[in-house]
Amino acid sequence: GDETRWTVRGMLGSAPDALTIPEGSEGRALTASLEAAAMRSQMEGAARRAGVARVAGLIPELTGDVHLLAGDPAQGGGVDALGRNWNVGAGFTLALPLFDRQQGRVREFVAEFDGLMERYVGLGIDLRSLVRAARNRLASTHARARQYDAVILPARAQVLEQTVLQYNAMQTGVLQLLEARRAQLDAELSAIETRRAYWTAAAA
């Protein structure tokens, strides 16, 4: 559709005079990380499981049952239309958590949580390190691009201009003139490369 109708905007622009670095980029990188969000969800799940196991280890377990038995009418009890004797009974079991308080399961979930927390902290350190490296790369490429645009290219153009004047006055030869022109072209190519490096770093 329309998303395929793109065109090249033009020549690669110069680096801006002032460098703008977004504030709080490290925190925003950690918030936007899908891997960090997955780890946070896993830690929440492990914490909930540990809490449930801890509570389950403190609550007595109570089970009950009701049974109905059909037997011989001579044994007493109610008799139905078919002459069967019905005995009704009930019972319950109470298990007190004296020895098994789910300590093993609680420690398992706590260890899982601790491991996830350590990995989460490590991931945060890695992400912040990547952001700092990208920020330093942006500052470095911006400084180099501004140096080429503001100092090196004008100096090379002035050298070439003066060399042309010296050549017209027969004070220098054609080889010196070609060398000055070659140096200017090399500086222009290097300036284009530094611009590319700056815009790549800015996009990153």
Indicate the SS3 state at residue 128.
helix
The predicted-structure confidence for 20-78, as pLDDT tens digits, reads as follows 887 888 888 888 888 888 988 888 888 888 887 776 666 666 677 777 666 555 555 55
The predicted-structure confidence for 138-197, as pLDDT tens digits, reads as follows 999 999 999 999 999 999 999 999 999 998 988 889 999 999 999 999 999 999 999 999
Q: What is the pLDDT of residue 52?
A: 75
Unique residue bearing structure tokens 């005995």: 87
pTM for the whole structure: 0.60
Cα of 45 vs its chain's centroid, Å = 19
CA neighbours closer than 13 Å in the CB half-sphere of residue 109: 17
Q: What angle do CA 182, 141, 156 make, to 5 degrees?
A: 25
What are the backbone angles phi and psi of residue 100, rounded to the nearest 5°? Answer: -105, 95
